[in-house]
Amino acid sequence: MFMHQKRLQYTVRVAETNPGLANLMLEQFGGPQGELAAAMRYFTQALGEDDPGRKDMLLDIATEELSHLEVIGSIVAMLTRGAKGKLAEAAEEQAELYRTINGAGNDSHVTQVLYGGGPPLTNSGGVPWTAAYIDTIGDPTCDLRSNIAAESRAKIIYERLINLTADPGVREALGFLMTREVAHQKSFEKALYAIEPNFPSGKLPGDPRFSDTYFNMSQGGPERRGPWNQGPQWDYVSERERQMAVDGGDGGASVQLSSDEAATLERLRARTKSEPTVDPVTGADLGAGPGAGSTTLGSDEEPRPSKR
Protein backbone atom coordinates (compact mmCIF):
# COMPACT_ATOMS: atom_id res chain seq x y z
CA MET A 1 0.00 0.00 0.00
CA PHE A 2 1.17 3.53 -0.71
CA MET A 3 1.03 6.34 1.82
CA HIS A 4 1.78 10.00 1.27
CA GLN A 5 3.63 12.53 3.37
CA LYS A 6 2.98 16.19 2.70
CA ARG A 7 6.66 17.07 2.92
CA LEU A 8 8.57 16.58 -0.33
CA GLN A 9 11.62 14.38 -0.38
CA TYR A 10 13.58 17.50 -1.37
CA THR A 11 12.53 21.08 -0.73
CA VAL A 12 11.75 23.07 -3.89
CA ARG A 13 12.68 26.76 -3.86
CA VAL A 14 12.26 28.51 -7.19
CA ALA A 15 13.63 32.02 -7.63
CA GLU A 16 11.15 33.25 -10.21
CA THR A 17 8.47 31.95 -12.52
CA ASN A 18 9.46 30.85 -16.03
CA PRO A 19 6.97 28.81 -18.06
CA GLY A 20 9.52 28.23 -20.82
CA LEU A 21 11.86 26.56 -18.36
CA ALA A 22 8.93 24.66 -16.89
CA ASN A 23 8.32 23.25 -20.31
CA LEU A 24 11.85 21.84 -20.47
CA MET A 25 11.46 20.28 -17.04
CA LEU A 26 8.50 18.26 -18.36
CA GLU A 27 11.08 16.04 -20.01
CA GLN A 28 11.64 14.41 -16.60
CA PHE A 29 7.99 14.53 -15.57
CA GLY A 30 6.19 12.96 -18.53
CA GLY A 31 9.08 12.27 -20.90
CA PRO A 32 10.51 8.88 -21.86
CA GLN A 33 13.40 9.10 -19.39
CA GLY A 34 11.32 10.79 -16.71
CA GLU A 35 10.21 9.82 -13.26
CA LEU A 36 6.82 8.33 -14.15
CA ALA A 37 8.55 5.96 -16.55
CA ALA A 38 11.02 5.03 -13.82
CA ALA A 39 8.40 4.52 -11.14
CA MET A 40 6.15 2.40 -13.36
CA ARG A 41 9.07 0.40 -14.71
CA TYR A 42 10.10 -0.75 -11.24
CA PHE A 43 6.62 -1.03 -9.82
CA THR A 44 5.38 -3.38 -12.53
CA GLN A 45 8.55 -5.44 -12.26
CA ALA A 46 8.02 -5.72 -8.51
CA LEU A 47 4.50 -7.08 -8.96
CA GLY A 48 5.75 -9.91 -11.17
CA GLU A 49 8.89 -10.68 -9.16
CA ASP A 50 9.15 -13.78 -6.99
CA ASP A 51 12.62 -13.23 -5.55
CA PRO A 52 11.92 -11.52 -2.23
CA GLY A 53 15.08 -9.42 -2.15
CA ARG A 54 14.67 -8.05 -5.65
CA LYS A 55 10.97 -7.47 -5.08
CA ASP A 56 11.69 -5.39 -2.00
CA MET A 57 14.38 -3.37 -3.78
CA LEU A 58 12.08 -2.70 -6.74
CA LEU A 59 9.34 -1.46 -4.43
CA ASP A 60 11.79 0.74 -2.52
CA ILE A 61 13.06 2.40 -5.67
CA ALA A 62 9.64 2.63 -7.37
CA THR A 63 8.33 4.44 -4.32
CA GLU A 64 11.27 6.81 -4.31
CA GLU A 65 10.75 7.56 -8.02
CA LEU A 66 7.13 8.47 -7.29
CA SER A 67 8.51 10.86 -4.70
CA HIS A 68 10.83 12.27 -7.35
CA LEU A 69 7.90 12.65 -9.73
CA GLU A 70 6.40 14.84 -7.03
CA VAL A 71 9.58 16.92 -6.74
CA ILE A 72 9.98 17.56 -10.45
CA GLY A 73 6.23 18.17 -10.81
CA SER A 74 6.42 20.70 -7.99
CA ILE A 75 9.24 22.50 -9.81
CA VAL A 76 7.04 22.68 -12.91
CA ALA A 77 4.08 23.91 -10.88
CA MET A 78 6.17 26.65 -9.25
CA LEU A 79 7.65 27.80 -12.57
CA THR A 80 4.17 28.13 -14.11
CA ARG A 81 2.45 29.47 -11.02
CA GLY A 82 2.53 33.07 -12.16
CA ALA A 83 1.38 32.30 -15.67
CA LYS A 84 -1.42 30.07 -14.46
CA GLY A 85 -3.62 32.91 -13.29
CA LYS A 86 -2.99 35.27 -16.17
CA LEU A 87 -4.76 33.34 -18.85
CA ALA A 88 -7.58 32.20 -16.59
CA GLU A 89 -8.25 35.72 -15.34
CA ALA A 90 -7.48 37.43 -18.65
CA ALA A 91 -5.23 39.61 -16.56
CA GLU A 92 -3.45 41.22 -19.50
CA GLU A 93 -4.64 42.45 -22.84
CA GLN A 94 -4.74 39.83 -25.55
CA ALA A 95 -1.64 40.68 -27.54
CA GLU A 96 0.42 40.67 -24.37
CA LEU A 97 -0.98 37.30 -23.31
CA TYR A 98 -0.30 35.95 -26.79
CA ARG A 99 3.33 37.02 -26.48
CA THR A 100 3.55 35.51 -23.03
CA ILE A 101 2.71 32.04 -24.21
CA ASN A 102 4.11 32.11 -27.70
CA GLY A 103 7.18 34.33 -27.55
CA ALA A 104 10.84 33.65 -28.07
CA GLY A 105 12.35 31.49 -25.36
CA ASN A 106 8.93 30.68 -24.04
CA ASP A 107 7.39 27.93 -26.04
CA SER A 108 4.73 27.05 -23.56
CA HIS A 109 1.53 27.36 -25.51
CA VAL A 110 0.51 23.71 -25.25
CA THR A 111 1.15 23.68 -21.53
CA GLN A 112 -0.85 26.81 -21.00
CA VAL A 113 -3.71 26.70 -23.50
CA LEU A 114 -4.41 23.01 -23.11
CA TYR A 115 -3.28 22.29 -19.56
CA GLY A 116 -3.90 25.63 -17.88
CA GLY A 117 -0.48 25.86 -16.33
CA GLY A 118 -0.60 22.56 -14.48
CA PRO A 119 2.04 19.89 -15.06
CA PRO A 120 0.87 17.51 -17.80
CA LEU A 121 2.26 14.02 -18.34
CA THR A 122 3.93 14.97 -21.60
CA ASN A 123 7.52 15.41 -22.65
CA SER A 124 8.86 18.90 -23.37
CA GLY A 125 7.45 18.70 -26.90
CA GLY A 126 3.93 17.97 -25.71
CA VAL A 127 3.90 14.27 -26.64
CA PRO A 128 1.75 12.37 -24.09
CA TRP A 129 3.54 9.79 -21.98
CA THR A 130 3.06 6.24 -23.22
CA ALA A 131 3.73 2.88 -21.63
CA ALA A 132 5.57 2.05 -24.84
CA TYR A 133 8.49 3.74 -23.07
CA ILE A 134 8.68 0.85 -20.61
CA ASP A 135 10.74 -2.07 -21.86
CA THR A 136 10.13 -4.58 -19.09
CA ILE A 137 9.81 -8.14 -20.43
CA GLY A 138 9.66 -10.21 -17.27
CA ASP A 139 13.14 -11.74 -17.19
CA PRO A 140 15.20 -10.41 -14.27
CA THR A 141 18.58 -10.35 -15.99
CA CYS A 142 17.08 -8.38 -18.89
CA ASP A 143 14.97 -6.10 -16.76
CA LEU A 144 17.89 -5.24 -14.48
CA ARG A 145 20.02 -4.39 -17.53
CA SER A 146 17.15 -2.24 -18.81
CA ASN A 147 16.97 -0.52 -15.44
CA ILE A 148 20.72 0.14 -15.39
CA ALA A 149 20.49 1.73 -18.83
CA ALA A 150 17.40 3.73 -17.88
CA GLU A 151 19.08 5.16 -14.79
CA SER A 152 22.12 6.19 -16.79
CA ARG A 153 19.89 7.95 -19.32
CA ALA A 154 17.89 9.77 -16.68
CA LYS A 155 21.13 10.97 -15.11
CA ILE A 156 22.13 12.61 -18.41
CA ILE A 157 18.79 14.35 -18.97
CA TYR A 158 19.07 15.86 -15.49
CA GLU A 159 22.61 16.95 -16.28
CA ARG A 160 21.39 18.71 -19.41
CA LEU A 161 18.60 20.44 -17.51
CA ILE A 162 21.08 21.62 -14.85
CA ASN A 163 23.17 23.12 -17.63
CA LEU A 164 20.17 25.15 -18.79
CA THR A 165 19.24 27.10 -15.68
CA ALA A 166 21.05 29.37 -13.26
CA ASP A 167 18.30 29.28 -10.62
CA PRO A 168 20.13 27.93 -7.56
CA GLY A 169 17.08 26.32 -5.98
CA VAL A 170 16.18 24.50 -9.17
CA ARG A 171 19.77 23.43 -9.77
CA GLU A 172 20.08 22.07 -6.27
CA ALA A 173 16.90 20.00 -6.49
CA LEU A 174 17.86 18.71 -9.93
CA GLY A 175 21.27 17.80 -8.54
CA PHE A 176 19.62 15.69 -5.88
CA LEU A 177 17.42 13.92 -8.42
CA MET A 178 20.40 13.34 -10.71
CA THR A 179 22.47 11.87 -7.91
CA ARG A 180 19.75 9.46 -6.90
CA GLU A 181 19.76 8.02 -10.43
CA VAL A 182 23.44 7.25 -9.93
CA ALA A 183 22.70 5.52 -6.64
CA HIS A 184 19.86 3.52 -8.17
CA GLN A 185 22.08 2.43 -11.03
CA LYS A 186 24.55 1.09 -8.50
CA SER A 187 21.82 -0.89 -6.75
CA PHE A 188 20.59 -2.42 -9.99
CA GLU A 189 24.14 -3.34 -10.95
CA LYS A 190 24.60 -5.14 -7.65
CA ALA A 191 21.30 -6.92 -8.12
CA LEU A 192 22.23 -8.04 -11.63
CA TYR A 193 25.56 -9.48 -10.63
CA ALA A 194 24.02 -11.14 -7.60
CA ILE A 195 22.44 -13.52 -10.14
CA GLU A 196 25.00 -16.02 -11.36
CA PRO A 197 25.37 -16.56 -14.24
CA ASN A 198 23.50 -13.64 -15.77
CA PHE A 199 24.89 -13.81 -19.29
CA PRO A 200 23.47 -14.62 -21.69
CA SER A 201 19.98 -13.98 -20.45
CA GLY A 202 17.52 -16.82 -20.35
CA LYS A 203 18.02 -20.51 -20.55
CA LEU A 204 18.80 -21.48 -24.14
CA PRO A 205 22.48 -21.38 -25.04
CA GLY A 206 23.56 -19.62 -28.20
CA ASP A 207 24.51 -21.57 -31.29
CA PRO A 208 28.33 -21.83 -31.05
CA ARG A 209 28.65 -21.45 -34.83
CA PHE A 210 27.47 -17.84 -34.60
CA SER A 211 28.11 -16.56 -31.09
CA ASP A 212 31.69 -15.35 -31.61
CA THR A 213 31.35 -14.08 -35.17
CA TYR A 214 31.48 -10.42 -36.09
CA PHE A 215 30.04 -9.58 -39.49
CA ASN A 216 31.73 -6.57 -41.06
CA MET A 217 28.61 -5.36 -42.86
CA SER A 218 29.68 -1.75 -43.46
CA GLN A 219 32.66 -1.55 -45.77
CA GLY A 220 34.32 0.77 -48.21
CA GLY A 221 36.42 2.99 -45.99
CA PRO A 222 39.05 2.64 -43.34
CA GLU A 223 38.03 -0.10 -40.93
CA ARG A 224 38.39 1.12 -37.35
CA ARG A 225 38.39 -1.91 -35.14
CA GLY A 226 38.39 -2.35 -31.40
CA PRO A 227 37.81 -4.95 -28.72
CA TRP A 228 34.23 -5.32 -29.95
CA ASN A 229 35.41 -7.13 -33.07
CA GLN A 230 39.07 -7.99 -32.70
CA GLY A 231 41.11 -10.30 -30.52
CA PRO A 232 41.09 -14.04 -30.09
CA GLN A 233 37.45 -14.26 -29.16
CA TRP A 234 36.14 -12.89 -32.45
CA ASP A 235 35.86 -14.40 -35.90
CA TYR A 236 35.82 -11.28 -38.09
CA VAL A 237 34.00 -11.93 -41.36
CA SER A 238 34.35 -9.42 -44.18
CA GLU A 239 33.83 -11.53 -47.27
CA ARG A 240 30.31 -10.86 -48.48
CA GLU A 241 29.91 -14.48 -49.55
CA ARG A 242 30.55 -15.62 -45.99
CA GLN A 243 27.94 -13.18 -44.68
CA MET A 244 25.12 -14.56 -46.83
CA ALA A 245 23.14 -17.72 -46.22
CA VAL A 246 25.48 -18.56 -43.37
CA ASP A 247 23.62 -21.81 -42.79
CA GLY A 248 25.01 -23.08 -46.08
CA GLY A 249 21.60 -23.10 -47.77
CA ASP A 250 20.51 -21.20 -50.82
CA GLY A 251 19.44 -18.09 -48.90
CA GLY A 252 15.89 -18.37 -50.14
CA ALA A 253 12.61 -18.47 -48.25
CA SER A 254 10.26 -21.36 -48.81
CA VAL A 255 7.23 -23.05 -47.34
CA GLN A 256 5.38 -26.27 -48.09
CA LEU A 257 1.95 -25.33 -49.42
CA SER A 258 -0.99 -27.67 -49.49
CA SER A 259 -2.32 -28.24 -52.97
CA ASP A 260 -5.34 -26.09 -52.19
CA GLU A 261 -3.15 -23.29 -50.97
CA ALA A 262 -0.91 -23.56 -54.00
CA ALA A 263 -3.85 -23.46 -56.37
CA THR A 264 -5.41 -20.46 -54.70
CA LEU A 265 -2.12 -18.62 -54.64
CA GLU A 266 -1.68 -19.35 -58.31
CA ARG A 267 -5.06 -17.81 -59.05
CA LEU A 268 -4.13 -14.70 -57.10
CA ARG A 269 -0.79 -14.50 -58.84
CA ALA A 270 -2.32 -14.81 -62.27
CA ARG A 271 -4.90 -12.16 -61.52
CA THR A 272 -2.32 -9.62 -60.38
CA LYS A 273 0.67 -10.53 -62.50
CA SER A 274 2.65 -7.77 -64.10
CA GLU A 275 3.17 -7.83 -67.83
CA PRO A 276 6.82 -6.92 -68.12
CA THR A 277 7.14 -6.65 -71.90
CA VAL A 278 4.68 -3.88 -72.64
CA ASP A 279 5.43 -0.26 -71.83
CA PRO A 280 2.05 0.97 -70.64
CA VAL A 281 0.87 4.55 -70.69
CA THR A 282 0.59 5.61 -67.07
CA GLY A 283 -1.15 8.19 -65.00
CA ALA A 284 2.13 10.06 -64.78
CA ASP A 285 2.33 10.07 -68.57
CA LEU A 286 -1.17 11.52 -68.72
CA GLY A 287 -0.33 14.02 -66.04
CA ALA A 288 2.97 15.24 -67.38
CA GLY A 289 1.17 17.49 -69.82
CA PRO A 290 1.38 17.81 -73.59
CA GLY A 291 4.94 19.03 -73.82
CA ALA A 292 6.33 16.62 -71.34
CA GLY A 293 5.21 13.41 -72.94
CA SER A 294 8.41 12.88 -74.79
CA THR A 295 10.44 12.51 -71.65
CA THR A 296 8.68 9.40 -70.54
CA LEU A 297 7.22 7.96 -73.71
CA GLY A 298 9.61 6.95 -76.47
CA SER A 299 9.13 9.09 -79.55
CA ASP A 300 8.26 6.12 -81.68
CA GLU A 301 5.62 4.88 -79.32
CA GLU A 302 1.94 5.03 -79.93
CA PRO A 303 0.21 5.18 -76.60
CA ARG A 304 -0.69 1.53 -76.44
CA PRO A 305 -3.41 1.56 -79.09
CA SER A 306 -3.69 -2.19 -79.15
CA LYS A 307 -4.79 -2.16 -75.57
CA ARG A 308 -7.79 0.13 -75.87
Q: Does 239 bind a copy of itself (CB under 8 A)?
A: no
Site track for a copy of itself across 127-156, x = CB under 8 A:
xxxxxxxxxxxxxxxx--xx-xxx-xx-xx
Given a contact cutoff of 8 angstroms between Cβ atoms, the answer to whether 140 and 195 are in contact is yes
Q: Does 6 bind a copy of itself (CB under 8 A)?
A: yes
Applying the rule CB under 8 A, the residues between 92 and 131 that interact with a copy of itself are: 93-95, 97-99, 101-107, 109-110, 112-131
Site track for a copy of itself across 161-200, x = CB under 8 A:
xxxxxx-----xx-xx-xxx-xx-xxxxxxxxxxxxxxxx
Question: Is the link from the previous residue into 197 a cis peptide, with omega within 30 of 0?
Answer: yes
Distance separating alpha carbons of residues 145 and 108, to the nearest angstrom: 35
Distance separating alpha carbons of residues 170 and 18, to the nearest angstrom: 12
Site track for a copy of itself across 61-80, x = CB under 8 A:
xxxx-xx-xx--xxxxxxxx
Applying the rule CB under 8 A, the residues between 8 and 67 that interact with a copy of itself are: 8-17, 20-21, 23-24, 27, 30-33, 36, 40, 43-45, 47-48, 50-57, 59-64, 66-67
DSSP three-state, residue 115: coil
Q: Does 271 bind a copy of itself (CB under 8 A)?
A: yes
Applying the rule CB under 8 A, the residues between 288 and 307 that interact with a copy of itself are: 288-290, 292-293, 295-299, 301-304, 306-307
Residue 79 CB, shortest distance to a copy of itself, in Å, is 7
DSSP three-state, residue 103: coil
Cα-based distances in Å from 210 to 103, 201, 214, 237, 305: 56, 16, 9, 11, 58
Site track for a copy of itself across 213-232, x = CB under 8 A:
xxxxxxxxxxxxxxxxxxxx
Residue 294 CB, shortest distance to a copy of itself, in Å, is 9
Distance separating alpha carbons of residues 45 and 237, to the nearest angstrom: 39
Given a contact cutoff of 8 angstroms between Cβ atoms, the answer to whether 144 and 188 are in contact is yes
Residues 6+ apart with CB under 8 A from 76: 22, 25, 26, 29, 119
Residue 49 CB, shortest distance to a copy of itself, in Å, is 8
Residue 248 CB, shortest distance to a copy of itself, in Å, is 8
Tell me how crowded residue 197 is: count the other CB atoms within 10 A of its CB: 8
**Binding residues for a copy of itself, total number by CB under 8 A:** 248
DSSP element (H, E) containing 107: none
